Amino acid sequence: MLKRKITCIICPMGCEATVVVDGGKVIGAEGLECQRGEEYVAKEIEAPMRDFFTVVKVQGARVAVCPVRSTKPIPKDRLMDCSRELADTIIEAPVKAGDVIMGDILGLGADIVATISLERNSQEVGNWR
């Protein structure tokens, strides 16, 4: 059993909670003012999830990189794994926003999709070649 301090980020109140954790589960919390806060704290301690976004290299576009995101949040402790997984990815323009760049990344159930459309551009750019 251990005590942890955590800031709730659900609303501007920003409650500072002290939670009691046992075996990875929240068994008590003090300092929260609402139900939503309690749900957030439980999730944040037991299975924290985050949006994932980065850029991948793109060939044949007016820019050197294409921004991408995950279609749903992924476990917090897998953010860096996803970043590494995409580090060597090179895509080819044209790209349309929503195009799947990598399906079901690391088996986490989230697709990585482009967030911008890039036309084909014959002028080569980028420093990574």
Residues in contact with other proteins by the rule CB under 8 A: 7, 9, 12-14, 50-51, 53-55, 57, 63-65, 67, 69, 76, 79-80, 83, 97, 115-117, 126-128
Considering beta carbons, is residue 13 or 47 the nearer one to other proteins?
Answer: 13
Q: What is the 3-state secondary structure (H, E, C) of 37-95?
A: HHHHHHHHHHCCEECCEEEEEEECCCCCEEEEEECCCEEHHHHHHHHHHHCCCEEECCE
Residue of 99, 109, 98, 111 whose CA lies nearest to 71? 111
Q: Based on CB atoms, which residue is closest to other proteins, 73 or 103?
A: 73
- C-alpha–C-alpha distance, residues 118 and 14, integer Å: 39
Q: How far is the CB of 33 from other proteins (least distance, A)?
A: 9
The nearer residue to other proteins, 18 or 115, going by C-beta atoms, is: 115
- C-beta of 120: minimal distance to other proteins in Å? 16
Structure tokens at 74: 């992924």
Closer CB to other proteins, 22 or 83, in the complex: 83
